[in-house]
Amino acid sequence: MLNILIAEGTPAVWQVERAGFGLPSNFSLFAAAVQLHCPDIRCTPLNIADGDPLSFGITLSDLDGVMFPGSPLHIYDPTPCVTRQIDFARAAFAAGVPVWGSCWGLQLATVALGGSVRRNPRGRELPIARAIAVTEAGRAHPLLASRPAVFDALCSHLDEIETLPPSSQVLAANEVSAIQAIAVQTPRGCSFHGTQYHPEHTLAVSAALIEMRAAELVEEGFGTKPSEIVAIAADYRALGAEPTRRDLIWRYGIASEIMDPIRRTSEIGNWLRTAVVPRRF
C-alpha cells in the first residue's frame, strides 16, 4: 500500500482556534482529496510546525510522497515554526521522494529549493483565484492535463513566489499572482509540484476563512462592515451544504471547475498518478 506523509504546517495551538470557525484540519482535507482519486493510499499525519518526529523506524525515503498543505505562517519570518519546516522540506527533497505543496506548501518548497517569497503587493487573494491561465509549459505538463486553458480555483493567500528555485517551470498564472503553479525537477532527482491556489479546499473551508477574517477583509476593502463579509461566508457555507443552489452559483460566479470535487482536486490526482504511483510500480 502506498503511504503519503501529510506534513502539517500549522501549529496545533493555532488549529484549535481555527476549528472554532469550522475549519477542518489540513490533514483531513488532504486525505479526502488523495482518497478521492486513489482510495487505497494510506495518509499519515505529522505536525512539522511543532517539530513532531517521524514514527520510530520510519525514514523519509520509506515514504511514497510528502505533501505540504497550507498554513497561516509567513515563510520570511525566521521563527522556529518556520525554520524547522524549511529544514524538513530540504530533508524530504534530499530523500528523493515526490513532494506536493499547496499555497504555504508551494512557498515552503520554493524557499527550501533556493527561491524566495514575498508579501504579494497586489494584496490578498480570497476565496477564488479567477482566470488562472495555463502557460505553454503547463499545457504540455501532466499536472494540468485535465484543466481547461483558463479556470478558477479556491484559494487563500497573502504571499507569493518572488524568485523561482532553479530548474522550475511555471505552469499557470493569473493577474494576482504571476506564479500559480510550478513543477521542479532537480539534477539530484527530486521532484516538486505545487499550486498557489488550494485544490484541496471546499466551499465550507472558504466560508470559514472568510468569516474568520471578516475584520481584516473590511480593512483591506473587501466590504464596508464585518456583517457583509459574514453574510458572504454564510452563502458559501450554504452552497457547500447544498451544491445544487443555482442562485448562489450564479450570484458568486462559481464555475463547475470548483463545484465538481474531482475537477476541483484534479492537480492532486494528476500528481499521484504521474509522480507517486509510477515511482513505486
* DSSP per-residue letters across 64-106: SEEEE---SS-TTS--HHHHHHHHHHHHHHHHT--EEEETHHH
- Structure pTM? 0.97
What pLDDT, on the 0 to 100 scale, is given for residue 194?
98
What pLDDT, on the 0 to 100 scale, is given for residue 57?
85
Report the candidate in 34, 9, 18, 72 with the shortest Cα–Cα distance to residue 275.
34
Residue 121 C-alpha cell reads as 503587493
What pLDDT, on the 0 to 100 scale, is given for residue 110?
98
What pLDDT, on the 0 to 100 scale, is given for residue 166?
95
Residue 213 C-alpha cell reads as 477574517
Phi, psi angles (nearest 5°) of residue 220: -90, 0
What pLDDT, on the 0 to 100 scale, is given for residue 16?
87
Burial class of residue 236 (count of CB atoms within 10 Å of its CB; 0-12, 13-18, 19+): buried
What pLDDT, on the 0 to 100 scale, is given for residue 59?
95
The domains of the chain are located at 3-202+261-280, 203-256
Q: How many C-beta neighbours within 10 Å does residue 97 have?
A: 21
What pLDDT, on the 0 to 100 scale, is given for residue 264?
98
The catalytic residue positions are 103, 198, 200
What pLDDT, on the 0 to 100 scale, is given for residue 17?
85
What pLDDT, on the 0 to 100 scale, is given for residue 101?
98
- Listed as ranges, residues in the chain with pLDDT below 70 are none
Q: Tell me which CATH code domain 3-202+261-280 carries.
A: 3.40.50.880
